[in-house]
Amino acid sequence: MTIPSSPFIEVRETKKRGRGVFATRRIPKGTEFEVVPVLVVKDEEVLHEDGEVLEDYVFEWDDGSCAIALGFGSMYNHSYSPNARYDDFPNMTKAYTALRDIETGEEITINYNGHEDDQTDVGFPVIEASAKKKKKSKRK
């Protein structure tokens, strides 16, 4: 299986949320813009009571295991109103797809709960991405 890198995205600093993934060009709704392989590891290898750094970058996988998404897969920030979603596939890959048109320069976000409509608490304070400001009309 060949997994090419994506020309649609880049990682850069956000104003309030550390690093994030941003669109380098317009991504139309429904576009699968990144497919990444995952490394599946046992939960106890990454999840510790003392809060290891890697714990913040893994996804639930099967019972007793979690996945580290390669590519930019573990760099997407959370939103309860995401503009993208991810899907898991049996061949140990994740695919990221636009839920709506994503404009050039816009941060791409996913819902960490696994479904874009799931409003379950994610266990940390959520800082939403800044919405693009609409241009004010000069007409009165």
The domains of the chain, with CATH numbers, are 9-110 (2.170.270.10)
Structure tokens at 12: 């850069």
Structure tokens at 1: 């299986």
Structure tokens at 119: 């409003």
Contact status, residue 116 vs residue 42, Cβ threshold 8 Å: no
Which pLDDT score is estimated for 2? 62
Predicted TM-score (pTM) of the model is 0.80
Reported as a single tens digit per residue, the pLDDT across 62-81 is: 878 888 899 999 899 989 99
pLDDT score of 86 more than 90: yes
The neighbouring-strand residues paired with 65 are 42
Rounded Cα gap, residues 57 and 122, in angstroms: 13
**Residue 105: band (very low, low, confident or very high) from pLDDT cuts 50, 70, 90:** very high
